[in-house]
Structure 1
Amino acid sequence: MSSPAEECHRILVVDDNPSIQQDFQRILCRSEESREELDEMESLLFGAPTRVRSDGPLFELDFASGGEEGVRRVREAIRSGRPYALAFVDIRMPPGMDGVETTLRMWREAVDLQVVLCSAYSDYSWDELARRLETNERLLILRKPFDSIEVRQMAHALCEKWELLRASHQRMEDLELVVEERTRALAEANARLLHAQKLEALGRMSAGLAHEVNNPLSYVMSNLRHVLDGLVSLPCSEEAMERRDELSDACRDALLGAERIARIVQDVRVFARVDEPPRDRVELRRVVEYSLSMVGESLRSGIHLVRDFQDVPAVLGSDHALGQVFLNLLVNAVHALKGRPQPSLRVGISRREDGRIAVEVQDNGCGIPQENLSRLFEPFFTTKPVGTGTGLGLSICHGIVTRLGGDIVVESTPQQGTTFRVVLPAAPEEALAHPPDA
């Protein structure tokens, strides 16, 4: 049952007779004597023990003298967040719309509103009312002159029914939200699974393709070098020397193209690996310093380098694999700083509150457009000009880090800079090293 604080429901009386309005006021808003009578009726009707009620009114009553005013009051009550639970509506209210039409329009505003149609005449049969109103679940008929106890019983029972309907609707809304959330989670999980399956299939195809390309490519490169060496050392007349130099340049260009293909094949083979990288205890500071030394020449071109290294525990991983990750991030940062005024690069190592270790590579370069951020780790996606990137570097980094149980994220603002953050779990005190892959 409702708590005492909830029992002061709002009731609307729609009747053009002031004396009838006064009767409802007397019946439903009398003080202690009426409340004691209602307690006794509730005990008889619902089997509940008589309770001590507050000194407030049984119900909060509002009155309307016609159907239009009644509909307007229902609408205003909904907007104010204090809807009516019950409406007593007179069937005959000339010259405006009658009680049946009033009820229909009030239900369009408040679908749970309980209605008692009051009439001293047989204007409509029950079947006619049910047919016109298309329901009988929220409707009762009260014949005039009505009995005070009958009115109180109706008011109390229908307000309790209204409360139950509202609670039921709220539970349904909560369930719908839960179902919607579960459905969305399942859809996201299915999309991730589908993406993983596509990547696995792409990896297997790439591995086979790289193997098939690598063998004939090695022959092409070997023969190009042989032809180039032969052309350079080939004695020829002065007239043929220009032609020889032209052919030598063509061979060098072809060899550069073949070497680029070889690098792409190597990246594809790394990307296609599905086995776990070796896991040893790795001191991140040493690996990061080595990666910085690899790009040392580029850093001497006016880039201000900030080392922000904290003492952190070792992580489980591979020196070679993590070095590849940090070198790739550093090279990308250097490229982003080209042509920037006062270029600056910060490399940080810190321990997070959750115990994991974070390595950050932060630059104040050109930044990355928002529409590209979600695609950075996709295979073969690149923002570099054609011929300067394969689009596999960040994808390979992502694969290495995630296979080590870590995360790699990016934050960027165009024309302000970019931060890549690699987060790895700290190694346990006694970490067993796995033998390196063959």
Structure 2
Amino acid sequence: MKKNKRILLVDDTKSIHDDFRKILSPATAEPTDLQSARAAFFGAKDAAAGAAGAEPISAKPNPAAPISYELESAFQGMHALDLVKAAIAEGNPYCVAFVDVRMPPGWDGIQTIKELWKVDPDLHCVICTAYSDYSWDETVAQLGHTDKLLILKKPFDPAEIRQTAAAFSAKWNAAASERSAMEAVRQKETEARAYASSLETLNKALATSKASADRMSTMKSEFMLRLTSEISTHLNAILDRLIEDGRTEGLDDALDRSQRLLETVDKVIDFTHVEAGTLEIKPRLCSVREVIDDVEQTFRSRAEAKGLILEIRMNESVPATVKTDPARLSQVLCQLIDNAIRYTDDGRVHLSVGTEPTESWDRVRLRFDVTDTGRGIGQERVGHVFEPFSSRANGDLAEGSGLGLTVAKQIARLLDGDVHFDSLPGEGCTFTLRLEVKREDRSVETRSDHQPSAFENWPGSGNQRGTG
């Protein structure tokens, strides 16, 4: 670290500045008649060395030669303040300031030092005075007790000036070196803490990632076991029915089981497409009423077979025509109703269709609430309902593959919507699909051109609308 030898002289008398330069920076002082004669006789360089009190440069260097400082002059306190501000801004501050007490018409020395310390509190100051304008107690009252202040009484010996400049500049440089070292230590400590924190964060992230990967791997393994077992169970039941000679009454059950098997395979295919980002969404003009009618027709007879009442209510605010993918919308609603019927043993399943306002006049948010009076969802299962390979019961094949709600939620998001639920154990639950769509005034094709929904052949569906 380069030593700081910058000294500021603050005095309203120019001759005082010249005296300080002769003492502290003789190489820059104006030459005397003797120095001029020495230069003419010995040469300029040897004359300058002699003026500094050293041997001629042709001789050996003198280690006792006085230190030469960088001096700058200010003739008023405000001028000194400007110089200190500029030095701080340049990153090249003064280490010592010699300040006269009386400097009319501006600030006196005490006020000047107070202002300088506001800008540079590390500056060491020497008060130079020939008068007792301030007692020591008054000076302390103004400037406080500090080791950065010294008072010299005029007239002073040049040795006092050199000694004071040397002591204060050395003290300033030592303090600056200490500050620099402490800053380096703090910087290293900060870097070490940041590194340790980053390692800790990385380790936690790796642990979380590993746990998630392990859990997903376990869930997938369990799912494949369940899927294999379910396919095997249904196939065995189909084969047992078909090989029984003369028993045609088992064909309906065989077809039903076959359809459930296809349903499971379709869910796996959809889940795979969603995970890969390849599931197609084909929005077009469609009738919400027709989608609801298809869903009702699909599940009416199945609900009746379980002794359940299937209720459907559509609010008048629902627009006749919207733009969305009707097949995917039907798929989500069918999964929610299938889920409700599957887990409800007594009572009813209710589908209500309404709207919610949006910020855009030509868009509407459709709201579909599927409410059942079934067993509800236990608190321990609430956070896992939409996870893949999960179902409300654990391991019962009758509960399905555990992909239905996962696929339904993912498709809902692809339709710019989402699925949420609310449940109390033993009191049933409500699954809500919110879907923002574009409102259309144009009419859609007649039902003669109606395309079947994705789940029109859902297991247990009837061809005729039931009475509920």
TM-score range, shorter chain: 0.3 to 0.5
TM-score, with normalisation over the residues of structure 1? 0.47
> Which one scores higher on RCO, CA 8 angstroms, separation ≥ 6?
2
TM-score, with normalisation over the residues of structure 2? 0.45
